[in-house]
Structures are given as structure tokens and as C-alpha cells.
Amino acid sequence: MAETKDIPANPPHRQAHTDDRYDPHRIEEKWHARWQADPSLFAADPADSKRKKYYVLEMLPYPSGVLHMGHVRNYAIGDALARYMWMQGYNVLHPMGWDSFGLPAENAAIKNKVPPRQWTLQNIAAMKKQMNRMGFSYDWSREVTTCLPEYYRWNQWFFLKLYEKGLAYRKNSKVNWCPECATVLANEQVVGGNCWRHEDTPVVQRELEQWFLRTTAYAEELLHGLDRLEGWPEKVKTMQRNWIGRSEGALVEFKIDGRVGSVGNKVAVFTTRIDTIYGATSIQLAPEHPLVSDLIGNDPSLHAKVEEMLAEQNKAKERGEVESMEKHGVFLERYAINPFNGEKIPIWVANYILMDYGTGAIMSVPAHDERDYEFAQKYGLDIRVVILPRRIGEPPAEGEPEKPVLPYTPKDSLLINSGEFSELSNQEAIQKMTAYAEQHGFGKATVTYRLKDWGISRQRYWGTPIPMVYCEKDGVVPVPEDRLPVLLPDNVDITLQGGSPLARVPEFVNAKCPKCGGAARRETDTMDTFVDSSWYFYRYTSPQSSGKPFETANIDYWFPIDQYIGGVEHAILHLIYSRFWTKFMRDLGLVHNDEPATRLFTQGMVIKDGAKMSKNKGNVVSPDDMVARFGADSTRCYALFAAPPDRDLDWQEAGVEGVHRFLSRVYRFIVRNAGAANGASGRNGSGAVTAEQLSPKARQIQRRLHQTIKRVTDDFQGRWHFNTCVAAIMEFVNELYGAEEEISAGKFPPQLLAEVQRKVVLLLEPFAPYLASELWEMLCEKGNLLRQRWPEYDAALAKEDEIEYPVQINGKLRSRITVPVDSPEDLVRERALAEEKVKATVEGKQIVKVIVVPGKLVNVVVR
């Protein structure tokens, strides 16, 4: 009690002042207005800048009209990084735009009778307002809006280039059709075989003539390029590898026995296991295989059976039950000849053969393939073993059965019953048998991919018109470059259902043939919106460019993107398409980089009560609501604090409150102490005060400050653990509160106090930029915080004088000793053994050894 005399009865930090209350709304509105008034604050220097560049990019949103928490998290991460990189002295490009074509605008138009364009532009305005309110540091002078002709004309231009190079072509193909919407859906809008908007409406397949982009031309490069993308998550790279699905094998032709139809007298199969060809006991065709009807001929009962199979398959597809379908087949009563042994084997049609993979036909080897085995068992087909784990006559290894368990599929065994190839290893057999087939003209080595060409035609209104016309005389004719853009007409009645809305606009459809000038019909399909997002980030470098999509010189400076940030849901589609687009543009000579982005980060989802936020579940937390209650700083700071960025984040309102309390504490500390420090020059380190002149507590604060700078910096750039960055600052602020009695008693040199406050504010800038700006000004500092340098940590000042060693006995904590830092091991050992508790515990036992881990601990091993 006695010492309380020295301390004011009501020390300042124990009082609630009305004037030191943290009012985020007052602060944020003030700075919001200033930032809006001066867009240059967040603008990147031009590409001819001598400064080193940093391009940080968040995936552009679809302008649905409201920002959700997932956006906020994504952008809070990107914004923290952008601000940090500015403070590291980089010229930072941090742009934002709108992926603004797409079906929701059309749906909204039908529902609310608002033109898609108007609906979209309103939404953009609303979301932009929300983003600005969050305080994101976007360079809006580079904003890209994909539904505007200035942008989409370049989609058309690229399309013409693709067409010129033979990378855009037209063919008949099946598309997803929702009868309820009366429109085509993108693959990603088909959920479990049903329409995403009408969850009980199965999507049907419709055959339509469509435009495709030849992504498969780059399959090999898209695959191998992944190996060099070290800054991409393994998960995403694996997904892309699987999607591309490269498979090495052989094409082998089997002659068809007997009469020959119009399609040919051979059937080609693709196999990765040509080494098992002596075990082939049937040929299996996909039901849609063109040979099927030829082989059936006029047999009505076979015809009916195959038809039935197709019908069943379609039904299963509609129900989304294709995977669980039982294997089913029909024998076509015809035979093929195995070119290796001349054997006649039956030809079947089977529902498990996919027409769009390989050749749509396989050789069936039941003994050595799971699916063929299941099928052969059901229909009693021959099962012939042609590979063994060991030589015939060799005894089985310990625990190995006498005969291999079928189906036996390993690739490191030996061939038997395979003519001249018997006794070869599988690997050797694959090479020799492929060569044999090639020599005899019935086969060759080949590579198959699962990746398919990208169908970009959409029978929708709200998209980029495909710049093609159809002329009776000249056929398919591209619109000449100088007549771009082909403008998307306004005032289109999209309530008319069925077919492309543009087909119902005569002014649009009726065109002149660019070649002959005669009457022609315009293409009325529009492009997939993934075209828009395949190259938008290049446009940010040259947003005003009018004669070209962008200036190559700007690309050379800014690209590749240093850090791309977005949701993992784009791992395949957008990220493959944009890699494809980059490679194509590189081959045109427009860019000189092979890949769009060197580093990719996929943040976790924002969930609430264990489930993804959704209107259906009623667990949506609105950013506006959070901002209204706690302010933008608390909201974004919580989004970074609550979990590491790659993990799912469980939104807890009490947590936002906690962060808000923390920011309040920072605010109040500086409000109370800014005056004491102002006037002192803390701007260049600790000024004139040396560490020795400080009181123990002041020295401790100085030490902790530098330790905190190190922790925040390391966690930020080393690991991207923003949660521990914020935690470290919290710890330091707690420490400051612990020292506040001494501070308010004037025992801290003003220089140190100024340095502490100044650096805390700088550390806070990436996480709570509004508050940081306000406090910066309160400290009488001037200028754009983003142009300030990130604080540097001083190892000498951070260094402890003493270190505490835990002392273990047989691995259990028994005591602690404190020794001067850098004490020699011998001294640490001596002090540990001299410790009373240790002595008592060790008493009467034999010390086997004493382990001293410098800077960590002491462990005494006794027996």
C-alpha cells in the first residue's frame, strides 16, 4: 500500500475519458474522404519507373451487388501485402476490376425488368463503394470492367488471332442445357447433374454447333510449366495435372473379322498396358462409337439392346448416378483379330467405355484390369493371366500366394504366355511390343490427355459477341480487325426464351459479308465469361491503351504477377485458361513471360457455425453490418487475426469485438502519450539516449519493441501468418500498458516514447490503415504512410541481457535458472546442478549426463 502514494490515485490509463474513446466512424470517415479526394495515394508509378516493382493481384469479383465476407478476407490479405510492399520501397501495382459479363445479370433482368447493363453498372458502383469504405488501397485509375466495349473488343481481337492461328474452330458438341432456364449452362453451373438455380431440374445434353479454343495444343506445356511454378500450392498443381491427365500408351488396331461396313474394317484401341495384350479376351466399344451401328447391321434385337443401354445411361446421367452404375454390356456377335497372336476375340458394347477418352474403344484384359475383371466375371468372358510377379517355377516370396490374386495389375512383374515377349519385364515389353506394332503397321506409341478443347460459345445475351459472320457464298468469315468491336446491342428482349437472344435482333443478325459484301448472318452466340478473366490482369498495366490490348513494354516491366490471391475454387478453370492465354499471347509476341503469376495463394473459406455462409443456411454476416458496428479496421483486422490465411476462418462476432478492444487500447495509449513524445525527435531511432541510460523498464520496452518488429516482419514475409503478426503487436501493446505508470510519471525519455509510438503505428498500417493514419497525424507526422519505410529491427537493441533456462530432470521440468545471455555451456551446467531443487531431486542418484542446449534448456539425465 505504501508505494501507491507515488502513483496518482487515478492514473490516466485507469480512467475513462470521453475524449479518448476510439471512434472508428469518425476516424474512418475523415480518412475515407481524404483518400477519395487524392487517388494518387494508391497509384503505382508508371512502368518506366526505375524502382523495383511488385504486382499484387486479387481475383476480380463478379459484381453481384454485395461484398461478402469471403471477398473481404481475400482483399484484406491482398491489401495488407500491398501496403507492406509499398513500405518496403517497392513500386506496387494493386488494381481491381469487374468480371461483369454473365448469366446473373440476365436472370436479374428477367426477374426485375432491369437491363443487364444497368443492373451490372449499379452493382459495380455499390461494391466499389463498399470496397472503398473498407479502405482497400486500389489504384482505381486502372480499373477494368469486362462488359465495356473498350475491354471486350480485345476479346474479339484475340478471337480473330486465335482463328488465324487455327486455335479457334467450330464443331458440333454436346452442351449442358437447363430446360427451366431455357439456356445453356457452364459446367460449373451444373451441380450434381442439376441446374444451380433449379436444384430439382436435371441438366440435359444438347448437341449444338459451337466454337472451341484449342487448349489441347498447349497441353504438354501447361503440364510441364507447373513444375517451374514453385510459388503455387501443391494442391492446385496436382489438380491441374489431374485435369490435364497426360497418359502415355499405344494405339493398336484390331482387324474386324467378316463383312466390312462403311466406317472401316479396323477398330483402334488406346492402351497404357500393351504388355498385357496377349491377355485381351474381348474388345469393348463405347455405346456412341461410330462402329457400333455398322457392326449391328440389320439385327433388330441387338439394335434394341444398344438403344436401351444408351437410354439407361442418359437417365443415370440426369440423376448424377453415372459413377455408381452397374457395368452392363451387349455382345455384338462379331469378332476382332488380335494382331499379336491372330486370335479372334468377341466385340462388345459396354456402358463403362467413355467415347470422349482415347478412341472410345478398349481391349479388355480381365486378368489385369479391375474394370475388365468385373465385367468379364459378370458375363463369363475368358480371363487369361499373362503377367506374374516372378518366373514360372520360382517359389513365392514369404506371405505371397501361389497364384496372383486377380485382377493382378502391378507394372513391375514378368510376362508369360506372350509368345516371343514372354519372360520380359513389363517395362521392356511395353517398349518392344510398341516397336513391334509400329514395324508391322498396326500400332504406334501415343499420348492421350483428359484435357479437352474449351467450348466458349454461350447461347446467352450478356457476353462478348463472337466476331464471325456466315455468308452463303463465302462460308464462315471473320469480322475484319478494323471493324471491331462488334457491339453488343442494348434493349434486347431477353425474356424471350429458347435460343440465343441475339438471334432475335434483326439489326444485329443481318450483316454484310466482309468478303463479298452480300447478305450474311452474324454469329449470335457470345463468349464464355472465362474468356474475359483469362487476360484482364494484363489490361491493368495499360488501361487506356486503345490501339492494342496493352503495351508490351508495360507488360515487360510489371509481369509476371508477383502474388496472385484468390479462392481455390478457381484452381482449374480460370487458372488453366489464363495460363493458356498467356502462352498464346507469348507466341504472338505480345508478352515475353511464359506464365501469368509466379506465386499463387489460395485463402480459406469464411464459415460461420461450422458451415459456409449462405442465404439458405441464414448464417451470412454482412461486411456492412460489421463496419457499422465495429468499423472497417476492426473488421479487416479480425479477418486476418482469427486464423492463418490458408485455413478456413470461423467468423465469431465476439472475436471482432476483441480486435476492436485492441485497436481501442492502441488508440488510447497514443492519445494519452502523444503529447509527451511530440517535440522529441524519435524519428531517427532512439535519439541521444543510449540503452545504458534507460531505466530497466524502459530498456525492456525498447527491447520488446525490436523483438516485436522482428516477429511481425518474419511472420509477414516469411510465412504469411498475419494472425501471429497481429498477436505480436497485441503483446507489445499489453507490455506498454504495463509500463504506463512509469511513462506517465515521466520516467521514459521522450525520444524512446516517440520511437515506440511511431513504430507501432507503422507496424499497424497493413492491418488497420485508417487508425494508423489517424495516429500518424496525431504524432505530428506528415505524408502518405505508404511511402514511409517499414521499421527495421535492431538486433543489438533486441538482445536480452539474461536468459532463463528451464531445467529438466529426465525430461520433466523441475526448476529454472537465470544466467547472463551467451553464458558458456559449462557455466549453465554448473548453475543448473547447483540449483536447490535439482540437488534435492538428484540426491542419491547417478547423473548419467547433462544436456545443455544453448539458448533452450538443460536436461539432467539420472538413474
Partner RNA sequence: GCGAAAGUGGCGGAAUUGGCAGACGCACCAGACUUAGGAUCUGGCGGGUAAAACCGUGGGGGUUCGAGUCCCCCCUUUCGCACCA
Site for RNA in 27-46 (CB under 7 A): none
Identity of the residue, 304 or 354, whose beta carbon is nearer to RNA in the bound complex: 354
Phi, psi for 526 (deg, rounded to 5): -115, 170
Which member of 88, 189, 265, 272 binds RNA (CB under 7 A)?
A: 272
Residues 542, 550 contacting (CB under 8 angstroms): yes
How crowded is residue 295: how many other Cβ atoms within 10 Å of its Cβ? 23
Q: Mark the segment that binds RNA (CB under 7 A) among 28-36, 239-247, 386-394, 396-404.
A: 239-247
Closest alpha carbon to 458 in 206, 674, 632: 206
First to last CA, the chain: 49
Identity of the residue, 47 or 862, whose beta carbon is nearer to RNA in the bound complex: 862
Q: Mark the segment that binds RNA (CB under 7 A) among 46-54, 146-154, 488-496, 721-729.
A: 721-729
Identity of the residue, 41 or 239, whose beta carbon is nearer to RNA in the bound complex: 239
Residue 734 CB, shortest distance to RNA, in Å, is 5
Residues 495, 110 contacting (CB under 8 angstroms): yes
Kindly state whether residue 239 participates in binding RNA, applying the rule CB under 7 A: yes
**What does DSSP assign to residue 508?**
H
Residue 420 CB, shortest distance to RNA, in Å, is 22
Residues 667, 771 contacting (CB under 8 angstroms): yes
Identity of the residue, 318 or 650, whose beta carbon is nearer to RNA in the bound complex: 650
CA distances from 405 to 38, 282, 370, 380, 446 (A): 75, 21, 11, 18, 30
User: Within 770-829, which residues bind RNA (CB under 7 A)?
Assistant: 804, 806, 808, 810-813, 816
Beta bridge partners of 807: 815, 858
Kindly state whether residue 249 participates in binding RNA, applying the rule CB under 7 A: yes
CA distance 630 to 22: 10
Residue 690 CB, shortest distance to RNA, in Å, is 28
User: Before 407, cis peptide (omega within 30)?
Assistant: yes
Which member of 173, 194, 271, 707 binds RNA (CB under 7 A)?
A: 271
Residues with Cβ within 8 Å of residue 356, at least 6 apart in sequence: 452
Q: Is 151 helix (H, G, I), strand (E, B) or coil?
A: helix
Identity of the residue, 111 or 856, whose beta carbon is nearer to RNA in the bound complex: 856
Q: Mark the segment that binds RNA (CB under 7 A) among 244-252, 387-395, 456-464, 697-705.
A: 244-252
Which member of 367, 456, 575, 726 binds RNA (CB under 7 A)?
A: 726
Kindly state whether residue 286 participates in binding RNA, applying the rule CB under 7 A: yes
Burial of 474 (0-12, 13-18, 19+ CB in 10 A): middle
Kindly state whether residue 856 participates in binding RNA, applying the rule CB under 7 A: yes
Identity of the residue, 41 or 861, whose beta carbon is nearer to RNA in the bound complex: 861
Identity of the residue, 115 or 193, whose beta carbon is nearer to RNA in the bound complex: 193
User: Within 449-488, which residues bind RNA (CB under 7 A)?
Assistant: 450
Residue 232 CB, shortest distance to RNA, in Å, is 13
User: Within 318-377, which residues bind RNA (CB under 7 A)?
Assistant: 322-323, 325, 327, 351-355, 357-358, 360, 362, 369, 371
Kindly state whether residue 649 participates in binding RNA, applying the rule CB under 7 A: yes
Burial of 472 (0-12, 13-18, 19+ CB in 10 A): exposed
Kindly state whether residue 861 participates in binding RNA, applying the rule CB under 7 A: yes
Kindly state whether residue 662 participates in binding RNA, applying the rule CB under 7 A: yes
Residue owning grid cell 515389353: 429
Which member of 53, 68, 665, 697 binds RNA (CB under 7 A)?
A: 665
Enter the C-alpha cell of residue 121. 453498372
With b for 16 or more beta-carbon neighbours within 10 A and e for fewer, the 707-735 pattern comes to bbbbbbbebbeeebbbbbbbbbbbebbeb
Spell out the long-range contacts of 416-424 with Cβ–Cβ below 8 A and sequence spacing 24 or more. 416/385, 416/386, 416/387, 416/388, 416/392, 417/278, 417/279, 417/384, 417/385, 417/386, 418/275, 418/277, 418/278, 418/386, 419/278, 419/340, 419/341, 421/275, 421/278, 423/391, 424/275
Kindly state whether residue 268 participates in binding RNA, applying the rule CB under 7 A: no
The site map against RNA for 189-228 (x = CB under 7 A) is ----------------------------------------
Burial of 822 (0-12, 13-18, 19+ CB in 10 A): exposed
Residue owning grid cell 486502372: 142
Residue 605 CB, shortest distance to RNA, in Å, is 8
Closest alpha carbon to 694 in 776, 753, 635, 639: 753
Spell out the long-range contacts of 619-622 with Cβ–Cβ below 8 A and sequence spacing 24 or more. 620/68, 620/69, 621/69, 621/651, 621/653, 622/66, 622/68
Enter the C-alpha cell of residue 178. 437447363
Residue owning grid cell 478412341: 359
Kindly state whether residue 448 participates in binding RNA, applying the rule CB under 7 A: yes
User: Within 516-575, which residues bind RNA (CB under 7 A)?
Assistant: 568, 572
Kindly state whether residue 853 participates in binding RNA, applying the rule CB under 7 A: yes
Identity of the residue, 118 or 717, whose beta carbon is nearer to RNA in the bound complex: 717
CA distance 211 to 733: 61
Residue 191 CB, shortest distance to RNA, in Å, is 11
Closest alpha carbon to 392 in 367, 420, 425, 416: 416
Which member of 221, 551, 714, 777 binds RNA (CB under 7 A)?
A: 714
Identity of the residue, 714 or 830, whose beta carbon is nearer to RNA in the bound complex: 714
Residue 496 CB, shortest distance to RNA, in Å, is 34
CA distance 371 to 375: 6
Kindly state whether residue 247 participates in binding RNA, applying the rule CB under 7 A: yes
CA distances from 690 to 302, 685, 693, 795 (A): 97, 11, 5, 15
Which member of 49, 242, 510, 818 binds RNA (CB under 7 A)?
A: 242
Residue 663 CB, shortest distance to RNA, in Å, is 10
Phi, psi for 688 (deg, rounded to 5): -85, -10
Q: How many residues sit close enough to RNA to count as binding (CB under 7 A)?
A: 85
Residue 617 CB, shortest distance to RNA, in Å, is 13
CA distances from 274 to 338, 478, 494 (A): 12, 45, 54
The site map against RNA for 606-645 (x = CB under 7 A) is ------------------------------------xxx-
Q: Mark the segment that binds RNA (CB under 7 A) among 129-137, 268-276, 508-516, 755-763.
A: 268-276
CA distances from 422 to 406, 443, 444 (A): 19, 20, 21
Kindly state whether residue 654 participates in binding RNA, applying the rule CB under 7 A: yes
Kindly state whether residue 847 participates in binding RNA, applying the rule CB under 7 A: no
User: Within 77-136, which residues bind RNA (CB under 7 A)?
Assistant: none
Identity of the residue, 723 or 784, whose beta carbon is nearer to RNA in the bound complex: 723
Which member of 149, 193, 225, 245 binds RNA (CB under 7 A)?
A: 245
Kindly state whether residue 647 participates in binding RNA, applying the rule CB under 7 A: yes
Identity of the residue, 200 or 323, whose beta carbon is nearer to RNA in the bound complex: 323
Residue 338 CB, shortest distance to RNA, in Å, is 15
Residue 92 CB, shortest distance to RNA, in Å, is 25
Identity of the residue, 34 or 647, whose beta carbon is nearer to RNA in the bound complex: 647
Residue 634 CB, shortest distance to RNA, in Å, is 11
The site map against RNA for 673-712 (x = CB under 7 A) is --------------------------------------x-
User: Within 730-749, which residues bind RNA (CB under 7 A)?
Assistant: 730-731, 734, 737-738
Closest alpha carbon to 243 in 530, 519, 449, 10: 449
Residue 228 CB, shortest distance to RNA, in Å, is 20
Q: Mark the segment that binds RNA (CB under 7 A) among 235-243, 383-391, 406-414, 424-432.
A: 235-243
